[in-house]
């Protein structure tokens, strides 16, 4: 199981353990600079709670110039690296398949990583069963999984504007900024990195709270300590995948 500790992969892992038995399932988390440290710790804790063996593989996408240059299909190169490592792992362990947490909703979004999964024969049980994100949340709640209402948390590199190089230093700034916002009580948020500009996304109902008075001043001051020259608030509010709004069909690279 390609295990990220997100709502999707946690449900698939739980069902795999319940169906196949703990001895036939391994939860594998790819570790790199693009994974927030909090997410890594959650992966360890959740795997233990579910009763799954948890293995950590250090991936090497940061050695790939195609990934670091941050094209619109960056995720393809990241997932290709992950699945290459997983292919070697299952061969060594005598396992028969790699599975991920992709759901039906993901198939209608721009997800270059899905192509990488298809190229490596990765199965997607949730999507194959016709489960949507909402279905997965409801089933997770029924099974008592703590992730049933967990906000989505894609990799930190997804916060950097396309075309701007990915670096560990930028990702640490993003991670620190989002951690600060959560400490202020903003559970769902994104820090979008645009060179020296931090574009903050929060749910629409939180915009007024964040934009006014002492809260705005505290956020501005903290983000400046992180190295941002300008701190902005996106008036359209939080929306998953907003970096993809700049993509048109004519600019999406095709992998041959």
Of 142, 166, 197, the one marking the end of a domain is 142
Examine the domain organization and report whether 18 and 124 are in the same domain: yes
pLDDT digits (tens, 9 = 90+) for 35-94: 999 999 999 999 999 999 999 999 999 999 999 999 999 999 999 999 999 999 999 999
pLDDT of residue 248: 59
pLDDT of residue 203: 95
Examine the domain organization and report whether 131 and 214 are in the same domain: no
Answer yes or no: is pLDDT of 188 > 70.
yes
Q: 59: which residues sit within 8 A by CB, 6+ positions away?
A: 30, 31, 32, 78, 81, 82, 85
Examine the domain organization and report whether 58 and 81 are in the same domain: yes
Mean pLDDT, the chain, integer = 93
| CB-side neighbour CA atoms (13 Å) of 48 | 6
Answer yes or no: is pLDDT of 102 > 60.
yes
Say which residue, 197 or 245, is predicted with more confidence: 197
Examine the domain organization and report whether 93 and 173 are in the same domain: no
Answer yes or no: is pLDDT of 168 > 80.
yes
Residue 210's pLDDT band (boundaries 50, 70, 90)?
Answer: very high
Neighbours of 18 (CB within 10 A): 13
How many domains is the chain built from? 2
Show the tokens assigned to 114.
Answer: 């899905």
Whether the CB-CB separation of 150 and 7 falls below 8 Å is answered with yes
pLDDT digits (tens, 9 = 90+) for 6-16: 999 999 999 99
Mean pLDDT of 213-221: 94
Answer yes or no: is pLDDT of 139 > 50.
yes
Examine the domain organization and report whether 122 and 229 are in the same domain: no
Whether the CB-CB separation of 174 and 160 falls below 8 Å is answered with yes
Q: What is the CATH number of the domain that holds 100?
A: 3.40.50.620
Express as a percent the part of the chain with pLDDT over 70: 96
Q: Of the candidates 67, 97, 100, which has an alpha carbon nearest to the alpha carbon of residue 81?
A: 67
**3-state DSSP call for residue 223?**
helix
């Amino acid at each position: 199981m390609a295990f990220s500790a997100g709502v999707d992969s946690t449900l698939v892992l739980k069902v795999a353990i319940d169906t196949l038995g703990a001895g036939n399932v391994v939860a594998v988390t790819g570790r790199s600079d693009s994974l927030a440290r909090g997410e890594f710790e959650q992966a360890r804790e959740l795997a233990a709670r579910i009763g799954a063996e948890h293995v950590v593989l250090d991936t090497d996408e940061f050695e790939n110039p195609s990934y670091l240059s941050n094209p619109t299909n960056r995720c393809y190169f990241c997932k290709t690296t992950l699945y290459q490592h997983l292919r070697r792992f299952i061969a060594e362990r005598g396992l028969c398949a790699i599975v991920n947490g992709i759901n039906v909703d993901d198939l209608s979004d721009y997800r270059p990583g899905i192509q990488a999964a298809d190229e490596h024969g990765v199965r997607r049980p949730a999507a194959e069963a016709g489960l949507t994100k909402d279905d997965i949340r409801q089933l997770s709640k029924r099974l008592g999984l703590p992730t049933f209402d967990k906000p989505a948390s894609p990799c930190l590199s997804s916060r950097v504007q396309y075309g701007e190089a990915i670096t560990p230093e930028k990702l640490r700034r993003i991670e620190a900024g989002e951690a600060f916002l959560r400490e202020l009580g903003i559970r769902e948020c994104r820090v979008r990195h645009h060179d020296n500009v931090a574009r903050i996304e929060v749910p629409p109902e939180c915009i007024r709270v964040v934009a006014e008075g002492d809260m705005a001043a505290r956020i501005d001051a903290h983000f400046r300590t992180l190295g941002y020259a300008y701190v902005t608030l996106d008036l359209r509010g939080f929306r998953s995948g907003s970096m993809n709004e700049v993509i048109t069909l004519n600019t999406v690279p095709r992998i041959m």
